[in-house]
């Protein structure tokens, strides 16, 4: 073969080197794809078997790893369940274990005990110096009190009805007297007219006067009856009859020796019998006022919508018309509680407290509820367990000592 030789400018004959090319078979995946494209069938089994071992080994390795992880997780869950069951059995055994014999005679702490309050400590000599006295209180049945609402009424209407009835009664008596005079005059004039001593017109004039006086008497009687009915409708049979008869109870109300208090029970509350007396809270809120029952009320308090009664309160109790107060009305039922005198009660931070002995020289303040008074200064308390030892004298001194201790603690801080 001829070829161009550089530098000579001529074509010369020279041998051409031949390269050896080896025909290699195409890749198997090409044949696989071509076979699929041509025939649409699956590859031969021997070909697939050659490919499977490598992938199967990987799949088996992954499967073994997954099963190993699952086994570890199951073992962990079993351990946790076993620990939980063992802990439950231990707790149950501890709960069922009887307490130590040394605590058998120790009283259980009361659920009402106020352990948050600091204990006040006084030696026996200090207790004697302040005159401290204690008493063990026992629970007993006492009359139950219903907490009701009282309103001191303005009795100007009672005064008005009383005066109007008195005036109507006077007019009635006047009409009766005039009628008697007119009747006598008519009888005398008629006799004179019959004897021809007087003309007939005199008898007619006397008869007209008699009829007018008789009509006036009828009007006066009607006025008296109307006022009596009005008094009973507005104030009930007891006070209404007192207005008509000018009873001493009504006179004391008019003269402000007593005040009229309307007591309304809470909605749904009722008493088994008419309450003979009740206790009202004084305006100073540190004492109670005795109320005397008068009668059922003729109307209720529209704000409360409960059963209502009329009571009388002393004029020097501090109550005034227009005031509202809390009243405790006996319900007729009984309940269990301990009797507490007013000398054992101290008031602090708007609450009532008593001191309980918690040790030979330790006392702790206990809050109480004063919703069950039994007199003007005594109460029945359900907040104290039966058998507690209460400070009956010297509670105020203990409160002062407790306050001093808190002040000293604050100074130290």
pLDDT tens digits for range 340-373: 888 889 888 888 899 999 988 899 998 988 777 7
User: How far apart (Å, rounded) are the C-alpha atoms in residues 57 and 233?
Assistant: 108
The 3-class secondary structure across the chain, one letter per residue, is: CEEEECCCCEEEECCCCCCCCCCCCCCHHHHHHHHHHHHCCCCCHHHHHHHHHHHHHHHHHHHHHHHHHHHHHHHHHHHHHHHHHHHHHHHHHHHHCCCCHHHCCCCCCCCCCCCCCCEEECCHHHHHHCCCEEEECCCEEEEEEEEEEEEECCCHHHHHHHHHHHHHHHHHHHHHHHHHHHHHHHHHHHHHHHCCCCCHHHHHHHHHHHHHHHHHHHHHHHHHHHHHHHHHHHHHHHHHHHHHHCCHHHHHHHCCCEEEEEEECCCCCCCCCCCCEEEEECCCCCCEEEEEEEEECCCCCCCCCCCEEEEEEECCCCCCCCCEEEEEEEEEEEEEEEEECHHHCEEECCEEEEEEEEECCEEEEEEECCCCECCCCCEEECCCCCCCEEEEECHHHHHHHHHHHHHHHHHHC
Alpha-carbon span 263 to 296, nearest angstrom: 9
Least Cα distance to 171 among 214, 225, 216, 231 occurs for 216
Determine whether 44 is exposed, middle or buried from the number of CB atoms within 10 Å of its CB (0-12, 13-18, 19+): exposed
Neighbours of 311 (CB within 10 A): 25
* Cα 246 versus chain centre, distance: 44
d(CA 252, CA 344) in angstroms, rounded, equals: 36
The pLDDT of residue 68 is 64
For position 44, what pLDDT does the model report? 53
For the structural domain made of 147-152+257-331, what CATH number should be given? Answer: 2.40.30.170
Q: Is 235 exposed, middle or buried (0-12, 13-18, 19+ CB in 10 A)?
A: buried
- Residue 310: predicted pLDDT: 96
- 230, 157 in Cβ contact below 8 A? no
- CA distances from residue 52 to 28, 56, 57, 253 in whole angstroms, order as listed: 15, 6, 8, 116
**Its pTM surpasses 0.85:** no
Q: From residue 156, how far is each of 62, 159, 167, 260 by CA, in Å?
A: 103, 5, 16, 11
- What are the phi and psi torsion angles at 258 (to 5°)? -140, 160
Query: Which sign does the torsion angle of CA 215, 219, 221, 225 carry?
Result: positive
CATH tag for 119-132+341-412 (out of 1.10.1420, 2.40.420, 2.60.40, 1.10.940): 2.40.420
Number of residues that this document lists for the chain:
413
381 pairs with which residues across the strands? 338
Sites in the chain below the pLDDT cut of 70: 1-116, 197-198, 285-286, 374-377, 409-413
CA distance 290 to 380: 17
């Amino acid at each position: 073969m001829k070829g161009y030789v550089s530098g000579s400018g001529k074509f010369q004959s020279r041998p051409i080197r031949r390269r050896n090319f080896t025909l290699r078979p195409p890749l198997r995946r090409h044949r696989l794809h071509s076979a699929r494209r041509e025939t649409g069938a699956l590859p031969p089994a021997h070909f697939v078997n050659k490919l499977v071992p490598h992938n199967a080994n990987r799949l088996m390795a992954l499967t073994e790893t997954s099963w190993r992880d699952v086994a570890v997780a199951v073992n962990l869950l079993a351990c946790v369940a076993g620990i939980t069951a063992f802990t439950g059995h231990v707790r149950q055994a501890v709960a069922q274990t009887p307490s130590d014999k040394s605590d058998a005679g120790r009283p259980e702490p009361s659920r009402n005990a106020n352990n948050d309050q600091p204990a006040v400590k006084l030696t026996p000599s200090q207790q004697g110096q302040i005159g401290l006295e204690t008493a063990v209180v026992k629970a007993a049945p006492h009359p139950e009190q219903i907490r009701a609402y009282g309103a001191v009424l303005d009795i100007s209407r009672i005064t008005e009805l009383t005066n109007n009835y008195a005036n109507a009664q006077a007019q009635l008596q006047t009409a009766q007297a005039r009628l008697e005079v007119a009747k006598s005059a008519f009888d005398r004039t008629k006799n004179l007219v019959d004897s021809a001593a007087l003309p007939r017109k005199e008898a007619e004039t006397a008869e007209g006067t008699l009829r007018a006086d008789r009509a006036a008497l009828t009007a006066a009687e009607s006025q008296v009856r109307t006022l009596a009915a009005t008094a009973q409708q507005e104030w009930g049979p007891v006070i209404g009859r007192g207005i008509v008869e000018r009873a001493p109870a009504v006179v004391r109300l008019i003269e402000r020796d007593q005040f009229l208090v309307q007591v309304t029970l809470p909605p749904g509350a009722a008493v088994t019998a008419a309450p003979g007396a009740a206790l009202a809270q004084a305006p100073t809120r540190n004492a109670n006022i005795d109320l005397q029952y008068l009668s059922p009320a003729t109307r209720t308090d529209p704000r409360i919508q409960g059963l209502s009664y009329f009571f009388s309160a002393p004029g020097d109790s501090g109550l005034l018309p227009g005031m509202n107060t809390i009243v405790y009305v006996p319900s007729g039922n009984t309940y269990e509680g301990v009797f507490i005198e007013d000398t054992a009660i101290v008031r602090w931070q708007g609450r009532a407290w008593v001191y309980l002995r918690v040790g030979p020289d330790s006392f702790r303040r206990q809050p109480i509820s004063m919703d069950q008074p039994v007199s003007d200064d005594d109460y029945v308390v359900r907040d104290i367990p039966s058998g507690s030892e209460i400070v009956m004298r010297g509670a105020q001194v203990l409160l002062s000592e407790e306050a001093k201790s808190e002040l000293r603690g604050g100074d130290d801080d």
